[in-house]
């Protein structure tokens, strides 16, 4: 399945639903990441990442949700990132895709909860998965050159990350798989909105502090009864 192509997604997931009747669990984990001077990435490059990391998740979710809502059960896990909650330098175009995915997932969680469908986000820290290798250099060479010595910092940073993630002490990607399994095995309606995995950079604390504020919004909008009191 090519998650960047509407027809491919509809054909693949439509075939599963036609055979099985529904999809129990969808995990969106496809993604690419460009590391570099944010201003120097072209609109086309930003769109490429958004298509793979954000629009692709919308495609697959829209493909499975009608059957999940009809069945009254289902779980969708969207793989975000630490940078879905924070914005470090040189990751701007990638970070934007993950912030978009987080916002969409949070709103959707409220809306599909009354149908018995859970939406959850897993936020991995850096892992040695080859994600760095998916990137490409910024397309706007003139902009890149105008940054002088700073233009070389992202490349050096990427090399350091790659070395760290290939070392013996690097976090094991199995931790992310374990998070998926934990969410799958939890009772419906009791799954947390976000599960941070691995190096946290303070994102776990951000989630603890902000989720209650986020959920309080339902009370302020007088939507608690309409949406079944879904929270956290």
Q: Which residues are catalytic?
A: 94
For the chain, the distance separating the N- and C-terminal CA atoms, rounded to the nearest angstrom, is 32
Rounded to whole angstroms, the Cα distance separating 31 from 80 reads: 9
In degrees to the nearest 10, what's the CA dihedral of 60, 66, 69, 75?
-10
DSSP bridge partners of 25: 75
Q: What angle do CA 137, 59, 92 make, to 5 degrees?
A: 30
- The answer to whether 13 touches 60, Cβ cutoff 8 Å, is yes
Angle, CA of 211, 193 and 48, to the nearest 5°: 105
Residue 195 forms beta bridges with which residues?
122
């Amino acid at each position: 399945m090519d998650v960047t192509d509407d027809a491919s997604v509809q054909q693949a997931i439509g075939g599963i639903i036609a055979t099985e009747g529904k999809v129990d669990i969808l995990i969106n984990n496809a993604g690419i990441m460009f590391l570099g001077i944010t201003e120097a990435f072209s609109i086309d490059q930003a769109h490429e990442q958004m298509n793979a990391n954000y629009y692709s998740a919308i495609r697959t979710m829209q493909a499975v949700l009608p059957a999940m809502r009809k069945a009254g059960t289902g779980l969708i896990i969207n793989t975000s990132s630490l940078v879905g909650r924070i914005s470090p330098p040189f990751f701007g175009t990638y970070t934007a895709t993950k912030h978009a995915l987080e916002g969409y997932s949070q709103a959707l969680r409220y809306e599909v909860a009354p149908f018995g469908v859970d939406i959850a986000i897993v936020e991995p820290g850096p892992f040695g998965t080859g994600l760095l290798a998916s990137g490409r250099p910024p397309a706007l060479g003139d902009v890149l050159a105008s940054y002088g010595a700073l233009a070389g910092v992202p490349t050096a940073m990427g090399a350091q990350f790659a070395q760290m993630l290939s070392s013996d002490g690097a976090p094991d990607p199995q931790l992310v798989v374990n998070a998926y399994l934990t969410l799958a095995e939890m009772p419906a309606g009791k799954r947390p909105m976000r599960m941070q995995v691995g190096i946290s950079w303070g994102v776990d604390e951000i989630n603890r502090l902000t989720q209650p504020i986020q959920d309080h919004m339902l009370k302020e909008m007088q939507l608690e009864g309409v949406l079944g009191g879904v929270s956290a």
